[in-house]
Amino acid sequence: MDYRPNVYASIFITLPIAALVLVLRLLARRTTTAGYGIDDWLAVVAYTGALGYSIVGLIFAADYGLGRPLKDGPANLTEDERLERSYLLLWLGSLTYTIGLAGAKFAILTFYWRLFKYSNSRIPIQIVMVLCGCWFVARMLLLTLQCIPTQAYWDVARRDLDCHVKTATYFYSTVLTHAILDIVILVLPLLEVFKMHLPLGQKIAVMALFGFGAVVCVLTILVIRLSFLFDGKSREVALEMGVHIALAAAECNLTNISVSLPMLRPVFRKIIPGSFLASHGSKRAAIDEAIAPSYGLKNSRGTKISQQNGSSSICEFVMNDDVPAGYDIEASRAGWSYGTEITISSPWRDQTPPPTVNEGLDGIQIQEETTVHVEHLG
């Protein structure tokens, strides 16, 4: 029996995709006026953890018998030495796995915090952030203190005496809470997007960008199932952990993909121009969504009164990649005493027209005039 092909396939397929998505995310963010944010750096931390977990899995599979019976392990080691190497690599894998998943959770939550600036979702986001912090601290404490001293975890002679938390209990308790948090994080943005007044195709596309995390939730459930079946007293640790590590590596790498995928809409718009991802047709609606609830906008053609529904910040996410190159849009900035301000400025705002542009004309010439009246309605 040999589960190494499962481990290799899981890592060599998902890890490069996660790296590509992260690079595209950073490139897409670099093109915006906002630049990089804390969510981008947390995404880098998350990928670092996923990379570390994949490296541990590859070393375990290539050199120390992961996915194979204990008797088929490295010939230069005794069975006790093989078992010690297995437990040491499991401990390192748990450490990098925790860093990768925690970084991903905080990256997506800080992105939500920036995106839903005036939404009712901000309180749930704060609560989930605190819960994720508690999960991270609890998992790290269990990892380092389940055996005292910590090195007793991989010391076969001391393991039964100095380890007081069963490995299966550790996996089950921390992975189950991790799965619940993932489901909550998955649902948070979908509710906000569902409330937006967007064309159906565009709404589905945006929800799909956020909803990729559902695949991760499925993998997490499979990892929980394997945690139930794990026998912490068995000496066949390397064999039993073969499929477990293959699924966990895929979960960790796909989590990184789901974290960065919502940031790639500008990339998709360039690859698939004119698709249902475009928001030209609904741009006026998106802007109207962002205007304060108590204001109306009047121009020479009529009056538009919009209602604030908490989507003012996400409108920037929906429309910012459709603005002509050189323009700056600042959406959802609390510049007024009520609601939201949108500022659109021309790339030629700092340039002086050539003196010959109005030769032969006297006085002040106005080529185009737009009047916008802002009034308080109640």
* Helices 167-195, 122-145: crossing angle, 10 deg rounding: 170
Q: In this structure, what are the phi and psi dihedrals at residue 41, rounded to the nearest 5 degrees?
A: -70, -35
Contacts by 122-129, CB closer than 8 A, 24 or more apart: 124/184, 124/188, 125/188, 128/181, 128/184, 128/185, 128/188
Instruction: Give the SS3 label for residue 376.
Output: strand
The answer to whether residue 276 is domain-embedded is no
Shared domain check, 140 and 59: yes
- pLDDT tens per residue, range 174-192: 888 998 999 999 888 877 7
- pLDDT tens per residue, range 227-276: 778 777 788 889 989 999 999 999 999 999 999 988 887 777 777 655 55
The answer to whether residue 83 is domain-embedded is yes
Shared domain check, 216 and 79: yes
What is the tally of structural domains in the chain?
Answer: 2
Shared domain check, 156 and 38: yes
**Other CB atoms within 10 A of residue 66 CB:** 30
User: β-pairing, 341-345 with 328-333?
Assistant: antiparallel
pLDDT of residue 294: 40
Shared domain check, 16 and 129: yes
Side-chain half-sphere CA neighbours of 241 within 13 A: 28
Shared domain check, 262 and 115: yes
Shared domain check, 351 and 219: no
Task: Please provide the DSSP assignment of 267-310 as one string.
Answer: HHHHHSTTSTT--STTHHHHHHHHS-TTEEEEETTEEEE----S
* Alpha carbon 285 to chain centroid, angstroms: 27
Among 332, 250, 287, 239, smallest CA distance to 16 is for 250
Contact indicator for 340, 292 with CB cutoff of 8 Å: yes
The answer to whether residue 348 is domain-embedded is yes
The answer to whether residue 57 is domain-embedded is yes
The answer to whether residue 258 is domain-embedded is yes
* Helices 237-260, 213-229: crossing angle, 10 deg rounding: 160
Shared domain check, 114 and 153: yes
**Other CB atoms within 10 A of residue 223 CB:** 22
Which of the residues in the chain have pLDDT under 70? 33-34, 167-168, 272-378
pLDDT of residue 375: 56
> In sequence order, what E strands does the chain have?
295-299, 302-305, 328-333, 341-345, 373-376
Shared domain check, 356 and 266: no
Shared domain check, 255 and 108: yes
C-alpha distances in Å from residue 28, one per residue of 16, 126, 253, 269: 18, 27, 20, 11
Tell me the whole-structure pTM to 2 decimals. 0.72
345: containing domain? 283-376
